[in-house]
Amino acid sequence: MQTDQIYSQLNDVFKEVFNKNDLEINDDTSADQIEEWDSLQHLILMITVEKKFGIKFTAKETQLFNNVGEMVKAIKSKLD
Amino acid sequence: MMDFLSLKKNLSKDFSSFKKIKIAVLGDSATQFLSQSIKGYGYEVDLNFEIYEADYNQIELQVFDRLSDLYRYQPEYIIIQKSALKLLNNFYKTSVSRKSAFGETELRTVREICSSISANSKSKIIFTNYNEINDGVFGNFAAKVESSFLYQIRKINLGLMDLAREIKNLYILDTASINSSFGMNKFTDAKMYINADMVYSLDVLPEIAKQIADIITSIQGRIKKCIILDLDNTLWGGIIGDDGIENIQIGSLGIGKAYSNLQLWLRELKYRGIILTVCSKNTESLAKEPFEKHPDMILHLDDIALFVANWDNKVENIKYIQSVLNLGFDSMVFIDDSRFERGMIKQAIPELTVPDLPEDAAEYVPFLRSLNLFETASYSEQDAERTKLYQEEANRTILYKSFSSEQDFLSNLEMVSEVQDFNKFNAPRIAQLTQRSNQFNLRTIRYTEADILKLASSNEHKCFAFTLKDKYGEYGLIGILILEKQNESLFIDSFIMSCRVLKRSMENFILNQIVEYAKGNGFKNIVGEYLPTVKNVIVKDLFKDYQFKESSGRWYLEVDGFVVKETFIKRK
């Protein structure tokens, strides 16, 4: 899957999880910029991402992502 | 099935028009998502669950302190969520010599929790049982080792059922069953457990929330009472009119086993008190033939309370069934293989439950089982007789038509009623009447069996239960009266009659009983109240019709000068 495809699908997940239709993400988007993005919401996000892309994160990986860029990189490596 | 994100979205919707129910959630692991799911599922069933969530792992702290926030909150329901994973940790901390007694110790704690809650509140307890983990220490050999975890956890689950039989306000949420249908890997998400100490996966949470709501709505009286069955390709394979009795698939022919399994399940529901009826586009004699003659049919004509087979529109036929049985559409389930018929019925009668049956008959039973449509809050052995009662009722309807006046009809029925006090034998049925009856019910207050037993021994109350029989058969216990003594007045807390005995002069008989008791015990007034619901319109004018006088929302009757009402029922 191309990186821009991953972005667009990941953006859909963000819109759904945070219930905001106008949410636009980029590499630097992080928990600091989205008010509702707390540790519990992060879990929901991770699990929804897993479902969307048909991949699995380890318990450790879910704790490591600092921003969207890192997430996209991880998704891409799991899909390849 | 709803997913977790949809339930979460429900949280921002408007609950204000729904009935409010206070719930407390106590868990031995993190319960935030569980609480959100329960609240969100409430929107699906028109209930505003107001939730108090105790802090993390505070079950004992809250339950054993009578001044705790839990009791101050006065919840109607207390959900206690305990997890198998925590249990496993505790088990591992237990010394080897005490492991065989682990289950017993745990059950003792549960009993103490229930006692403390009962002593400090009127709450009903919903307790989760445990998903049965085989921890892999003994493998299958665990069955032979009393000190294995599997042995002890199964003992606890069975022990919880025993406790639920004994403790009337304890209900078990069967997470063990949910786990076995989801599978352990889908039931718990290891990531969520490790990172957030949550034991339910996002996938399983909606099902857990649904089943909690199922328990609560059934206690609130929302239960299914009747199934309307199609015949061709639903109850047997093939079309009786085209294929003939020897070629329909039931028993060993073709995929007959799938249909036999459905019939077996339906017969079991009948024993449990669900009324079975038939609604089929067929020639009646042909439709009845398999029931009468086919050796492999499980269901027979006497299992069916009402058999409607003709070529009329099914919507009209279902309305006819509803009117004869006098049940609400929302308590009926329509089972039909035809998507077209289902669509038409759903549109015409939206209150009716219409499951979208799978294409493959082999999946009928597993699918229907998974819906948990028949949750109930009570069961008594008389429930098995219910079909017979409805059949007898049909006979009365026929007799009724042969008499010119209602009086002639009623006196011909030779009715006898026995007036009983509340006791431990009739308590299950009485509780059930308070939970099931919606129409002839003045205040719609629901009581559990435990409540009924308390009322039975209360000095502030006088309670009566009424049975009725006539020459066609027994109606059983069909009426109850709960009177509260208030100085010189008797307040009618509950006056409930089964809708099967409407228009039998039973209400007159019961009113006479109230006045007779009042006079005999020095009460001067009888005070009544009508609390309207969408379903109890038929008793709206009851007090007015009985010449009670209204004053600021309540109705008053002086017992002096009361003229005994005409009744065709003799007292036993």
User: Structural domain tally of chain A?
Assistant: 1
Predicted confidence band of residue B231 (pLDDT cuts 50, 70, 90) = very high
Per this entry, what is the length of chain B?
A: 572
> What are the domain boundaries of chain B?
4-219, 226-371, 403-571
Domain B4-219: CATH class, spelled out: alpha beta
Q: How many CB atoms lie within 10 A of CB B461?
A: 17
B9 shares contact with chain A (CB less than 8 Å): yes
- Cβ distance B192 to A63 less than 8 Å, yes or no, reads no
Residues B8-28: tens digit of each pLDDT? 999 999 999 999 999 999 999
Chain A: closest CA distance from residue B189 (Å): 9
Give pLDDT tens digits for B510-538: 999 999 999 999 999 999 999 999 889 98
Q: Do domains B4-219 and B403-571 have the same CATH topology?
A: no
| Beta carbons of B62 and B116 less than 8 angstroms apart | no
Distance from CA of A3 to the nearest CA of B (A): 26
Query: What local confidence, expressed as pLDDT, does residue B407 receive?
Result: 84
Quote the minimal CA–CA distance from B194 to chain A in Å: 7
Supply the pLDDT for residue B254. 84
> What band does B503 get if pLDDT is binned at 50, 70 and 90?
confident
Compute the distance between CA of residue B44 and CA of residue B217 in angstroms, rounded to an integer: 12
A67 and A25 Cβ atoms separated by less than 8 Å: no
Residue B191 has its nearest CB partner, among A16, A39, A57, at A57
Distance CA(B6)–CA(B2), nearest Å, equals: 6
Q: Which pLDDT belongs to residue B436?
A: 87
The CATH code of the domain that includes A20 is: 1.10.1200.10
Residue B401 binned pLDDT confidence (cut-offs 50, 70, 90): low
Query: Do residues B299 and B235 touch, judged by C-beta distance below 8 A?
Result: yes
Residue B467 and residue B417 in contact, taking contact as beta carbons nearer than 8 Å: yes
Q: Of all residues in chain B, what percent are helix, strand and coil, respectively (each to 5)? A: 45, 20, 35
User: Band of the pLDDT at B482, cuts 50, 70, 90?
Assistant: very high
Residue B277 CB partners (closer than 8 Å, separation 6+): B226, B227, B228, B229, B304, B305, B306, B307, B308, B321, B325
Burial class (CB in 10 A: 0-12, 13-18, 19+), B545: exposed
Which of A16, A39, A47 lies at the smallest CB-CB distance from B189?
Answer: A47
pLDDT at B388: 82
Query: Distance between CA atoms of B15 and B51, rounded to whole angstroms?
Result: 13
What's residue B389's pLDDT?
80
Cβ atoms of B330 and B349 closer than 8 Å = no
Residues in chain A with CB shorter than 8 Å from the CB of B206 are none
C-beta atoms of A62 and B189 within 8 A: no
Residue ranges with strand state E in B349-455: 415-417, 419-420
Task: Among A3-17, A39-53, A55-69, name the one with the lowest average pLDDT.
Answer: A55-69
**In this predicted structure, what is the pLDDT of residue B326?**
82
Q: Which of B340, B335, B349, B245 lies closest to B297 in space, CA to CA?
A: B245
Q: State residue A13's pLDDT score.
A: 94
**Structural domain boundaries, residue A20:** 3-79
Nearest Cβ partner of A40 from B12, B32, B189?
B32
pLDDT at B521: 94
Pairwise CB contact (< 8 Å): A59 & B4:
no
Judged by a CB distance cut-off of 8 A, whether residue B191 touches chain A is yes
Question: pLDDT band at B354, cuts 50/70/90?
Answer: very high
Residue among A42, A62, A64, A65 with most chain B CBs within 10 A, to mutate = A62
Cα–Cα distance between B34 and B37 in angstroms, integer?
5
pLDDT digits (tens, 9 = 90+) for B62-116: 999 999 999 999 999 999 999 999 999 999 999 999 999 999 999 999 999 999 9
pLDDT of A64 > 90? The answer is: no
Q: Which of A29-38, B138-147, B462-471 has the lowest mean pLDDT?
A: A29-38
pLDDT tens for each residue of B251-300: 988 899 999 999 999 999 999 999 999 999 999 999 999 999 999 999 99
Q: What is the pTM of this model?
A: 0.78
Instruction: Report the run of H or E that residue B169 belongs to, with start and end.
Output: none
CA angle B55, B60, B65 (to 5 degrees): 95
pLDDT tens digit string along B421-455?
999 999 999 999 999 899 999 999 999 999 999 99
Return the structure tokens found at B199: 């034991």
The arrangement of secondary structure in B226-371, i.e. its CATH architecture, is: 3-Layer(aba) Sandwich (3.40)
Cα–Cα distance, B81 to B174 (Å, whole number): 11
pLDDT digits (tens, 9 = 90+) for B120-131: 999 999 999 999
Chain B CA closest to residue A17: B5
Residue identified by tokens 């009646």 is B284
State residue B364 phi and psi, 5-degree precision. Answer: -50, -55
CB within 8 Å of B323: residues ≥ 6 apart: none
CA distance A72 to chain B (A): 19
The highest-level CATH class for domain B403-571 is alpha beta
Beta-carbon contacts below 8 Å between A and B: 35
Residue B180 and residue B207 in contact, taking contact as beta carbons nearer than 8 Å:
no
What ipTM was predicted for this assembly?
Answer: 0.89
Q: For residue B473, name the pLDDT band (cuts at 50, 70, 90).
A: confident
A1's CB contacts (< 8 A; 6+ apart) are A76, A79
